[in-house]
A and B are shown apart, each in its own frame.
Chain A
Amino acid sequence: MVEPSSNANANFNISIKTKLDNFTLNIDRHFNDQGITGIFGHSGSGKSTLLRIIAGLEIKVQGEITFNKQVLFSSHSNIFIPTEQRNIGLVFQNSRLFPHLSVHQNLVFAQQRCKYSTLDINDIISLTGLSSLLAKKPAQLSGGEQQRVGLARAILAEPQLLLLDEPLSALDKHSKAQMLILITKVQQSLQIPMFYVSHSLAELQQVANNILILANGEVVDYGDIHQVIHRLNNTESKPLISPQTSLAVPIIAHDKEHALTQLALSEKQSIYLPLLTENTDENNDKEAYPPGALLRCFIFANDISITLNEPSDSSIVNHLSGTINAINKYGNHSILLTIHCAEQEFFAQISVMSYKKLALELGKNIFIQFKASAIKTLAAFPLKNASFIEE
């Protein structure tokens, strides 16, 4: 699977051990990431603090961070590069636009302070769709508009790394989807490496290439987004996420008559979800979901059910044949099955009763089925090289 590509890397050495109010943030890791790296954790996991430490907004920190071979701070050697000299951007949760300046003046503020400005401010204004808002004051903007200005402003400082701290948490569902599409578009066209913090796994599932999982200040897992989500499904002790199947699959076609969008799971097998173009705004739909574009989507494990024979008289649209790969207890009364089908791992959560009734065992061939509406997605991204569609 080809993911959004980027030339610029975020080459990081983060080694922090610092006591916060409720826990110790303890991270010792090397990153060499392209594109968007997600940082996931529940509130109080230390993820926002980590961003603030990288940006230089937290002062009392023990440890060391180097970024692209430059030491940003080191408590041993008493080095602390001030925030304004780090050239690291940050998009805040509440945009923090300067209230006394217009949208345009907010953007100019950033560009004027950028040492080697190469971007054309008008390009960024049209990229982020701000042309009609330039004269307005921040207080006159909607939440979604404010975040777009915040993103544009951060880009115009031309940071070598862009941090995003819960950039969607204050937005409604529609603005969330728009902003996610915009963040990916910006990432692809400007190739700025990004670290994206969120407590919403769904958000990160949509945009991140790699993901870092934090819990109580400690790293739980780190790696490819889909692989990490699938690994977390089987965390038995204290589940961090709802078990789910994470997919990135190309769009084949939009079936307007039946109001379904067809996705290619493999060369032979398709799955269907409710028509995507109806969910987006009219100006954007063609651009956002062209056939061939890779769609990030996920299916919760309790939305997938199992049958032993191929269902022929079911109203459920999606059914695929597969083999049981793993069987794990999930909680007291359910079983989490890992099913290999169409070169993908699927996760199905069923009751212990059904498990016994169907006499399921490892290696058994079964069928999984799920409704079109069980496939969840927030945004889709145009991508040229979804190879087996083009041929």
Chain B
Amino acid sequence: MIATNDDLLALITTLKMAALSTVILLLIGTPLAWWLAKMQSRAKVIIEAIVALPIILPPTVLGFYLLIAFSPQSAFGQIWQQLTDSQLAFSFSAIVLGSVLYSLPFVVQPLQRAFEQLGDSYLEAAAILGAKPLDRFFSIVLPITKASFITAASLGFAHTVGEFGIVLMIGGNIPDETRVLSIALFDHVEAFNYTQAHLLAGGLLLASFILLSLVYLLNHHNNNTSAVGKNYG
């Protein structure tokens, strides 16, 4: 069984999309998770619910609204077109933006839990010793919650690789642009091309299984050895 060029192209598009989404997710998700972890206001539950929506919402619902937002007729679509000189809907950028929204809870939730569990005690101790906020984040928060960052990135990446509905709605099926593995798989099944379908489905299954196993292994290891979760005040 040899993968076709089309499938390889879909694999590359998928990996590009997932990698870029994961980077953006970490950049957006970290401050968002931090803000939620420290938030005292009652509005917190509303924002938490909004962030968590993609977990239960049918991807086509999110995809439908994004399609409207990304279309050249919408204000957002027009601004995008003026800034980048290209249409947003049915582009690679569109599926990355969609993925970021779609996978946001998978990054924000583990980070928020880690930040809540970390609490203020070490941060206060670091501030007392003269560490400024960014210094505190990089020398205290990041190393102590490293495992949660790896979990968040892995889940964000894996969930993005596995998305289908949103990509179909806002990306279409353009080779080398928006045609990702899950859509290629769908095409093979539609065409009764079961050999190729097996290859893609089996590959995705195996890759997801390995990734999740690594995440759980890391979490288990972390629970046994890390000081986070033990009470140091």
Contact = CB atoms under 8 A, between A and B. Distances in A.
Are A and B bound to each other?
Answer: yes
Interface of A: 55-57, 82-85, 87-90, 92-100, 109-110, 113-115, 137-139, 153-154, 157
A111 to B, nearest CB: 9
B20 interface: no
B130 A96 contact: no
Contacts of A88: 128
Given A83-B127, A87-B130, A109-B131, 18 more contacts: A57-B124, A57-B127, A83-B124, A84-B129, A84-B132, A90-B125, A94-B121, A94-B231, A94-B232, A94-B233, A97-B125, A99-B144, A99-B232, A109-B126, A113-B129, A113-B131, A139-B230, A153-B129
A80 B128 CA distance: 15
Contact of B232 (A90, A110, A138): A138
Contacts of B131: 84, 109, 113
14 contacts: A56-B127, A85-B130, A89-B128, A89-B129, A90-B128, A94-B232, A96-B232, A97-B232, A99-B230, A109-B131, A110-B129, A139-B230, A154-B129, A157-B129
A157 B131 CA distance: 10
Contact of A100 (B121, B128, B132, B143): B143
A98 B128 contact: no
Nearest to A87: B130
Contact of B140 (A87, A92, A98): A98
Contacts of A153: 129
Interface of B: 121-122, 124-132, 135, 139-140, 143-144, 226-228, 230-233
B127 A92 contact: no
Nearest to A97: B232
B130 A113 contact: yes
Which applies to chain A's interface (DSSP): helix, strand, loop or mixed? loop
B121 A96 contact: yes
Contacts of B124: 57, 83, 90, 96
Contact of A139 (B132, B140, B227): B227
A82 B127 contact: yes
Which 8 residue pairs of A and B lie closest in terms of their CB atoms, listed nearest first? Answer: A94-B233, A99-B227, A113-B130, A96-B125, A83-B127, A110-B129, A100-B143, A90-B128
B129 A109 contact: yes
Contacts of B230: 99, 139
B233 A92 contact: yes
A143 to B, nearest CB: 11
A153 B232 CA distance: 16
A15 B143 CA distance: 39
Contacts of B226: 99-100
Contacts of B143: 100
Contacts of B227: 99-100, 137-139
Contacts of B139: 109
Given A99-B226, A99-B228, A139-B227, A115 B130 contact: yes
Contacts of B125: 90, 92, 96-98
A95 B130 contact: no
A98 B126 contact: yes
B128 A95 contact: no
B184 to A, nearest CB: 43
A157 B130 CA distance: 8
A99 B126 CA distance: 12
A202 B114 CA distance: 40
Most chain A beta-carbon neighbours within 10 Å: one of B121, B129, B232: B129
Given A109-B129, A113-B131, A95 B233 contact: yes
A299 B128 CA distance: 38
B129 A96 contact: no
A83 B130 CA distance: 7
Contacts of B126: 98, 109
A55 B233 contact: no
Contacts of A89: 128-129
Nearest to A83: B127
B122 A96 contact: yes
Nearest to B142: A100
Nearest to A113: B130
Contacts of A110: 129-130
A98 to B, nearest CB: 6
A114 B128 CA distance: 11
A109 B125 CA distance: 11
B130 A100 contact: no
A110 B135 CA distance: 12
Contacts of A56: 127
A82 to B, nearest CB: 7
Contacts of A90: 124-125, 128
Most chain B beta-carbon neighbours within 10 Å: one of A55, A89, A109: A109
B3 to A, nearest CB: 43
Nearest to B139: A109
Contact of B128 (A83, A99, A138, A139): A83
A60 B130 CA distance: 21
A87 B131 CA distance: 11
B34 to A, nearest CB: 17
A114 B130 CA distance: 7
Nearest to A94: B233
Contacts of A98: 122, 125-126, 140, 144
A88 B231 CA distance: 25
A22 B127 CA distance: 28
A55 B127 CA distance: 10
A124 to B, nearest CB: 14
B232 A95 contact: yes
B233 to A, nearest CB: 3
A142 to B, nearest CB: 14
A84 B230 CA distance: 26
A88 B129 CA distance: 8
